[in-house]
Structure 1
Amino acid sequence: MTITVLDSYTATRSILTAPLAERPEALRRMLEPTADMYRYFPGTPDLVELHHMSSGFRVDREVDGALAGLAALHDAQAWDRIEAALNSALSVQLNATPDIQVPDIQVMIVLGDNADPHFMDVALGMNGNGGISGYIWLAFWPSPENLARLESVAVHELNHNLRYSNVRWDPETVTVGEQVVSEGLADAFARHQYGDLGYTRIGVPSLHDDAVYNKVIDGLGIRGMQNFAAYVHGDAIAARFGGTPVGLPTGAGYAVGNRLVDAYLAITGKQAPDALLVDSAEVIELATK
């Protein structure tokens, strides 16, 4: 039950100062400890390709400002702050649910690609993935807004990791409802720790949009990982990864997940840590009565 924040700062600095031809293999070595987080992908995915697809810093060309961005993350003590936040949040969660299974967790912090308009303008300079038991992956561009949220983003992903270390997640049968509720639970847990900084930034613009709420609610029963991206992340992010747009703004599912979970917590009187393993169907049933 150990959280290990990998020293990707030293590795990234070495990569960005190496000759360009040597960078892909050096990046592959850096990413190798988290390779198993892609176990649901078909075949053996290339770690460098996945890194670039997820808006990690480029190793196939020079990018102005990459070293400065890395230095800003380091100067903000990103690695130490995230490690402290994860350990503190884990203690809070275990106080509420002492019998859960907690894996050893490898945490990879990645400098984002500031030359990628999708990452910077649509995703607002941050990405995260904590849904695969034992792994948390975080990408940041160090804007002031993102530096203020380092802890809350990490804690959001920790909530996913703990939920899906105890609740079965099947990519073929998972519903939009489960995914939307899980985002609401993760934001609620981050807000329990950090107040409004715990809201995922891309979801904030749609928090009070009833048209977005109703459209996502209509799609909650849709099944299959390949079908839920637009409902959870919105059309622009879904299209980036080959998904089909459905007419939803970026972060739609996060906004709706927050509304559903907040209603559920208000009705039941529970705090966010108490709801880690709640059945998403129960949340939806109570919150939409």
Structure 2
Amino acid sequence: MTITVLDTYSTMKQILRAPAEDRVDLLRSMIEPVSGMFRYFPGDVDLVAMHGMASGFPVDRDGERCLDALETLASARAWERMRDALDQALAAQLAATPELTVPDITVLVVLGDPGDAHFMGPSLGLTGNGGISGYILITLWPFPENVARLEATAVHELNHNLRYGPGGVVWDPMTVTVGEHVVSEGLADAFARQLYGDELGYTRIGVPPLHDDAVFAKVVTGLDVTGMQNFTAWVHGDTHAKRFGATPVGLPTGAGYAAGNRLVDAYLAATGQTAAQALHAPSSDIIATALDR
């Protein structure tokens, strides 16, 4: 088992400095090592289009701004810090669950799009995708708060990767519920908090509604909702839902993350487990225990 954090610093610098007509092909080549994360998509996937949909850095504008941001990340030792954090987190996870099967994991860290108002605003300059076994994609802008949380961000996505990895929880698009998604975010944050504490471990978008009882109660009403097209509103909130063409449900940004943390914390307190020990705990058990159903 090997965790490989790709050297996208060098590659992105090459792309941003290349002649305009060469940038798209160079970008596609950079993304190719994680193309397997799109293996469940129908038909051929346009990797460059997926990069844009995920708020990845542009190749036709904001070049100097992106180069400056890239140097900010390099000065912060972003790639080295994430690699070390992932290695340490995996060791902690294996100590708690020594029988765990860990796949080889490829990690792609890319700059976000500074011209994307939604990414820079409601998303706070950070998105991650770690739910497809073997691959982690982190898109970020080096706001100071994001730089401080580089380790916790990487560890959060690793938790998703291992929860849905070999022998773990099966994410069945036909039957998966909002409850599973909400719980997975709570578990990933709990694992990051186990290693880095509450100040750094919480996903930033989930902090504002964390102690809002009305938001928690509202999310609880949607835990049994199925249909992945509905998940964005319940997990990320109405603003994100509108961005991606989903139907709002009356929730603020990060509502599902906040509720997930509360559900998971209640479960861990009741069972005496750590987040690492609860990696594969069924979401139905976590919800039932947390809500004392």
Q: TM-score when scaled to structure 2?
A: 0.97
Q: Tell me the residue number matched to 1:90.
A: 90
Q: Is 2:15–2:23's contact at 8 Å kept on the other side of the alignment?
A: yes
Q: Tell me the residue number matched to 1:168.
A: 170
Residue 221 of structure 2, aligned match among 218, 221, 227:
218
Q: Offset at 1:222?
A: 0.7
* Counterpart-to-counterpart distance in 1, 2:271 and 2:11: 46
Q: Tell me the residue number matched to 1:46.
A: 46
Residue 189 of structure 1, aligned match among 184, 187, 191:
191
Question: C-alpha offsets along residues 247-287 of structure 1, whole Å, 9 cap, x if unaligned?
Answer: 11111100000000000011111111110000000000010
**Count of residues in correspondence between the two structures:** 289
The amino acid of 1:205's aligned partner reads P
The amino acid of 1:58's aligned partner reads P
* Counterpart-to-counterpart distance in 1, 2:27 and 2:206: 31
Q: Is 2:133–2:162's contact at 8 Å kept on the other side of the alignment?
A: yes
Q: Is 1:63–1:115's contact at 8 Å kept on the other side of the alignment?
A: no
Q: Tell me the residue number matched to 1:285.
A: 288
* Counterpart-to-counterpart distance in 1, 2:175 and 2:39: 17
Q: Is 1:86–1:158's contact at 8 Å kept on the other side of the alignment?
A: yes
Q: Is 2:4–2:106's contact at 8 Å kept on the other side of the alignment?
A: yes
Q: Offset at 1:52?
A: 1.1
* Counterpart-to-counterpart distance in 2, 1:172 and 1:227: 13
Question: C-alpha offsets along residues 102-129 of structure 1, whole Å, 9 cap, x if unaligned?
Answer: 1000000001111211111110011101
Alignment pair present for 1:250 and 2:273:
no
Mean alpha-carbon deviation: is it higher for 60-69 or for 12-21?
A: 60-69
The amino acid of 2:86's aligned partner reads L
* Counterpart-to-counterpart distance in 1, 2:259 and 2:63: 36
Q: Which residues of 2 match residues 99-248 of structure 1 at below 5 A?
A: 99-165=99-165, 166-196=168-198, 197-248=200-251
**2:121 alignment partner, SS class:** helix
Q: Tell me the residue number matched to 2:279.
A: 276
Q: Is 1:203–1:254's contact at 8 Å kept on the other side of the alignment?
A: yes
**1:274 alignment partner, SS class:** coil
Runs of at least 5 residues in structure 1 that lack an aligned partner in the other structure = none
Runs of at least 5 residues in structure 2 that lack an aligned partner in the other structure = none
Q: Which residues of 2 match residues 26-41 of structure 1 at below 5 A?
A: 26-41=26-41
Q: Percent identity?
A: 63
Q: Tell me the residue number matched to 2:269.
A: 266
Q: Offset at 1:245?
A: 1.2
**1:228 alignment partner, SS class:** helix
Q: Which residues of 2 match residues 51-66 of structure 1 at below 5 A?
A: 51-66=51-66
The amino acid of 1:90's aligned partner reads L
Q: Offset at 1:63?
A: 4.2
* Counterpart-to-counterpart distance in 2, 1:152 and 1:163: 17
Q: Is 2:16–2:63's contact at 8 Å kept on the other side of the alignment?
A: no
**2:179 alignment partner, SS class:** helix
Q: Tell me the residue number matched to 1:9.
A: 9
Q: Tell me the residue number matched to 2:79.
A: 79
Q: Is 2:62–2:114's contact at 8 Å kept on the other side of the alignment?
A: no
Question: C-alpha offsets along residues 222-258 of structure 1, whole Å, 9 cap, x if unaligned?
Answer: 1122221110111112222222211111111000000
* Counterpart-to-counterpart distance in 2, 1:62 and 1:182: 35
The amino acid of 1:32's aligned partner reads E
Q: CA RMSD in A?
A: 1.0
* Counterpart-to-counterpart distance in 2, 1:64 and 1:204: 32
Q: Offset at 1:64?
A: 4.5
Question: C-alpha offsets along residues 48-76 of structure 1, whole Å, 9 cap, x if unaligned?
Answer: 11111111100133445110000101110
* Counterpart-to-counterpart distance in 2, 1:279 and 1:208: 24
Q: Is 1:103–1:134's contact at 8 Å kept on the other side of the alignment?
A: yes
* Counterpart-to-counterpart distance in 2, 1:62 and 1:84: 31
The amino acid of 1:279's aligned partner reads P
The amino acid of 1:84's aligned partner reads D
**1:206 alignment partner, SS class:** coil
The amino acid of 1:250's aligned partner reads T
